Structure 1
Amino acid sequence: MAPSAQSSPKVTTPRSPKMIPPYYPRSPRNVSAFLSPVPLPASNTPQNLLPLDSGSNGGPQQPPLQSASPHPIKQSQHSSIAKSVMSAPGMARSYSAGKECTEWLSPPTQLYPGQALTDTPATTAPNSPRIRATTLDIPGLTKSRVSPDGRIARRDIGAKLVIVMVGLPARGKSYITQKVARYLNWLQHDTKIFNVGNRRRIAAGAQDNLANSEPLHPTVKPAGPATPATLLHGTGLFSPKALSSLAHSGPSAGGHRRTDSVTSVDIDGGVDQSASFFDPANKAAAELREKVAMETLDELLDYILNQGGSVGILDATNSTRERRKALVDRVREVAGKELGVLFLESECHDQQLLEANMRLKLSGPDYKGQDPVKALEDFKKRVEIYEKNYVPLGEHEERAGMQFIKMIDVGRKIVTHQTKGFLAAQTVYFLLNFNLAHRQIWITRHGESLDNVVGKIGGNALLSENGKKYAKTLAQFMDVERKKFREKQLHKHESSHMPPRPGDTTPPNPEYSNCCTQDEDGRPLEKNFCVWTSMLARSTETAQFFDEEEYDIKEMRMLNELNAGVAEGLTYVFLPPSLLIPGPSDSRPSYDEIKRLYPQEYDLRRLDKLHYRYPGAGGESYLDVINRLRAVIVEVERMTDHVLLIGHRVVARVLLAYFLGLEREDVAKLDVPLGTIYVLEPKPYGVEFRAYNYNSETEWFDFQPDFKLKNEEQKDIKVNVKVAAST
């Protein structure tokens, strides 16, 4: 939850005006291809200024402006560049990266007695009679004239958000960004990660690592194949001829390659990206890294302003005030002062967690395939270089009225300051329920019900005889799998070494540990196992064979099946004659009662199942289910124990969509048949995913090797989370 106004009474950021034009031009081109420098007019420079890069003691501070009027002075918050965004066919850009850090930023608005903090921006003009509110927008739950579907309207820039990551390497920044982006996208807020490191590797010539590098974002749809030309077009770092050459060269024809020494220079002329590459004394490398960072930010702003994005996440170290100031300058020059900027810093104080993070970093694109001992030595040198210049977020940012979040030990402690807006509050809420614990998440539908036998949807039917057999086998299967996990957990603990040994390639799972999670010998304690069902009979009956002394069993209304309103208890599918109930024809269920009784609703649902809401009392849509499952998802993210969720068709679809980052158009089409159980084990760089099918002949579950999710037409569904190999 976002902190209350009383928790940070000192300062607040300037309130921003509404944007006059209702729409922004959509451009298919990369923002860098058509941005042109536009100088700021001298008259636009504020006079009451606060230094952003002053020392930690704050230095001399300017007194607040005095006014003869008892009301605050109203000023236009838009620069000429921001206004051009609303009226010109493209965005304008000026290069702030090379500016001296003695420049100034506007101070936070001074609070007068009785004046409260607010998310409502100030008016565009001093005499404007109306203030535009930027409150919550939730697809499927809110609507307005400018946003009939609940998505943030293009003109409401103040409701959008730029998240800027801060932190040293191996602090879990990329893991955090991927989790946050997946959560916000699942809630239907368009979010995209812009990874500076991936662009830097290409710009520095590390083309051979491109194919094995982490994706920019688990839910990004790339415009085309990832090549130097597509990633660096418009950066100004290469000429068109050089880009073309890079695009058509193979990994060994100019790509950066490491030797076993790790610190050697690329023999083919690329830029060596060992620790010396990150030394500030290396001016050429520093200039390249700065340019790549600014170009990546330009792409992020284009996504927010021109492509309809709601949240853009800049994933980089951003470890100095100079870099952070340059980023804020660029955002303000391009988008004005409405667009929210939230800094998110990750720190690791726990030595065991930090060492585990470092081990994981060695399996990343910069060190993939290298000797772990030599790679760790080089990586530690890189971190030492960053540490010399690293300035964490703190009092300086508080005095400047900046929004920020500090995560310590990936969720052990959270510090927030001045977080404003619905999306920033949702981000804080999610991060407050966050951990790296290694555990299993099981998802399955209930056993076969009596309504399943005759093809009815909804209702509250009991289990059939086959359903009861499934329930009994499920409890026995969970007993076995729980013991297997414990054995694997202890083996992994015994075989994880830090520092790594030569040939050791299995990194430990980073998890904050204390006396509550370990025994006296330092071994991890056995985890509890939760079983959650809906409150419908077919779900609760599926959990009836679990031993309540060994499993924590709980019913949750949030896990109930989607309510079909007027269609509850009707049939959607063709019923063969053998399944028709004997009796008069008018008393038997037809092959598709919904299509016969509600043909218009039937067609509307087929056109857009995700957004369609059933008419009638209690009728729901998939978006309604997503929003009521939010509390379940956050609780699963918070807990460190195993959990089995016994749900229903729609519930299983929505849960799998979150954990595997499915495309929105695939959520309502996912095939989740009865008798299948899915297991997910969260990993730092993805998830381990397996599936088992119930075998009625053996009354056991058969592992499905090379399992792939299918849609209702049995076509493969794209999974946007990296699926790790089973171990």
Structure 2
Amino acid sequence: MPSFWRLERETRHGVSAGMSSTEDVTMAVVPRELTQNPLHKIWMPCKNGLPEKHTYQRRVCMTNCPTLIVMVGLPARGKTYISKKLTRYLNWIGVPTKEFNVGQYRRECVKIYKNFEFFRPDNEEGLKIRRQCALTALNDVRQYLSVEGGQVAVFDATNTTRERRHTIIRFADQNGYKVFFVESVCEDPEVIAQNIVQVKLGSPDYIDCNTEEAIQDFMKRIKCYENSYQPLDEGLDKELSYIKIMDVGRRYLVNRVMDHIQSRIVYYLMNIHITPRSIYLCRHGESELNVQGRIGGDSGLSPRGKEFALCLGRFIQEQNIRDLKVWTSQMKRTIQTAEALGVPYEQWKALNEIDAGVCEEMMYEEIQEHYPLEFALRDQDKYRYRYPKGESYEDLVQ
């Protein structure tokens, strides 16, 4: 029978006579006393009325076990760009994440880069150094995920052979990590050339080279990898979890997404834009509650707020923006502001202002008077502070 039902039945009627002594001890554990963290408003185990230290310091965990993200692809395919963007995003939504760039380990090991010969498949010394750098990086991954409390590590390297990827999978299995591969495939010569000029020419490898020499050397470096490159294969790698990004997002192939964090990764990677675009972020016009110095609520615009909305509408018309899309929250003040633009707009609940809970429509002076502890806690950490019966900014991000 389901364990949760058995626990309820035994709590009401006593432990069944047929249970083993081990089960008897396990099921007889009394739930610990809980206390509420004043900053986050989260219930946690306590001892003598105080939160246990390890639970008090623990962050919310979005993964049931650590995840190792493994980049795959030839040089100049945007792997490091993706790694950095993904690392930043995951940290932003509250998932402790760190990037491990094997190229940086190689530069620390080999202080002076000579030329592409180092990457030739028949260069035994180069192979040995690169292999050792990869192993050193994996050891640091283990330290981060198993000791330092990290939840996601991004292993940024070419990882172009099936043998190298199997080595990483064995490493992950031995340490209890999930593996998710991110392969960037690009056959467009213009995109590759643009990436080389924009990114690789600024690399420490080419700090003393002229542009033409650097481009020629890097193109030869790519050739060193091409002959042994084994892309992720739909048939051979059908048991692996991965996403293939083709030609900078023109096509995607997603396989065996296994959990919440992998689905968040896929969603993010499928919505990365690398082409320049203009995004205007604008607050609503002054509201009636703004005039009174009160937070939250759902009041309309004040006379000055309406004047602001009209000025904003004229500004937008002057920009002559093609295919303009306007998003607003579902609050009255933002919708009134958007109405003045004279263009279609979409309402998103996700854009609603933070819910201040019991402090809604109060002045900050009133909060300080009636809830002095809450007022002080908010000053300590505005990002993670959660209003009583309300939200934190961290909630909005997640």
> Normalised by the shorter chain, which TM-score bucket?
0.7 to 0.9
1:151 corresponds to: 60
Match of 1:321 among 159, 162, 185: 162
2:187 corresponds to: 349
Match of 1:474 among 309, 312, 331: 312
8 Å CA contact 2:285, 2:304 repeated in 1: yes
1:388 corresponds to: 227
8 Å CA contact 1:141, 1:624 repeated in 2: no
The offset of 1:361, in angstroms, is: 3.2
2:125 corresponds to: 284
How has the CA–CA distance of structure 1 residues 183 and 271 changed in structure 2, closer, same or farther, with 3 Å as cutoff? closer
Distance 1:380 1:612 in 2: 51
Q: Which amino acid in structure 1 is aligned with residue 289 of structure 2? A: D
Distance 2:41 2:187 in 1: 41
Distance 2:55 2:323 in 1: 44
The secondary structure found in structure 1 opposite 2:325 is: strand
2:373 corresponds to: 600
Please show how residues 167-566 of structure 1 align to structure 2 within 5 Å: 167-205=73-111, 270-272=112-114, 274-333=115-174, 335=175, 338-365=176-203, 366-368=205-207, 370-395=209-234, 397-398=236-237, 401-481=239-319, 527-548=322-343, 552-566=344-358
8 Å CA contact 1:159, 1:421 repeated in 2: no
Q: Deviations over 1:181-238 (max 9, x none)?
A: 1221111010111111122122211xxxxxxxxxxxxxxxxxxxxxxxxxxxxxxxxx
8 Å CA contact 1:363, 1:369 repeated in 2: no
Q: Count residues in correspondence.
A: 352
Please show how residues 60-79 of structure 1 align to structure 2 within 5 Å: none
TM-score by length of 1: 0.45
Q: Which amino acid in structure 1 is aligned with residue 82 of structure 2? A: I
8 Å CA contact 1:159, 1:422 repeated in 2: no
Q: Which amino acid in structure 2 is aligned with residue 469 of structure 1? A: E
Q: Which amino acid in structure 1 is aligned with residue 335 of structure 2? A: T
8 Å CA contact 1:160, 1:304 repeated in 2: yes
Distance 2:278 2:260 in 1: 31
The offset of 1:324, in angstroms, is: 1.9
How has the CA–CA distance of structure 1 residues 460 and 271 changed in structure 2, closer, same or farther, with 3 Å as cutoff? closer
TM-score by length of 2: 0.80
Q: Which amino acid in structure 2 is aligned with residue 603 of structure 1? A: A
Distance 1:613 1:324 in 2: 43
Task: In structure 1, list runs of 5 or more residues that go unmatched.
Answer: 1-127, 131-139, 206-269, 484-526, 573-591, 628-727
The structure with more helix, counted as a fraction of residues: 2
How has the CA–CA distance of structure 1 residues 143 and 352 changed in structure 2, closer, same or farther, with 3 Å as cutoff? farther
Q: Which amino acid in structure 2 is aligned with residue 533 of structure 1? A: T
Q: Deviations over 1:579-630 (max 9, x none)?
A: xxxxxxxxxxxxx1111122333233334433332224xx222222223xxx
How has the CA–CA distance of structure 1 residues 396 and 290 changed in structure 2, closer, same or farther, with 3 Å as cutoff? farther
Task: In structure 2, list runs of 5 or more residues that go unmatched.
Answer: 1-21, 27-39, 46-53
8 Å CA contact 1:462, 1:541 repeated in 2: yes
CA RMSD, Structure 1 to Structure 2 (Å): 2.7
1:620 corresponds to: 391
The secondary structure found in structure 2 opposite 1:433 is: coil
Q: Deviations over 1:240-277 (max 9, x none)?
A: xxxxxxxxxxxxxxxxxxxxxxxxxxxxxx341x2212
Please show how residues 106-117 of structure 1 align to structure 2 within 5 Å: none
The offset of 1:390, in angstroms, is: 0.8
Distance 1:190 1:448 in 2: 37
The offset of 1:570, in angstroms, is: 1.0
1:161 corresponds to: 67
The offset of 1:354, in angstroms, is: 2.9
The offset of 1:451, in angstroms, is: 2.0
The secondary structure found in structure 2 opposite 1:442 is: coil
Distance 2:329 2:158 in 1: 43
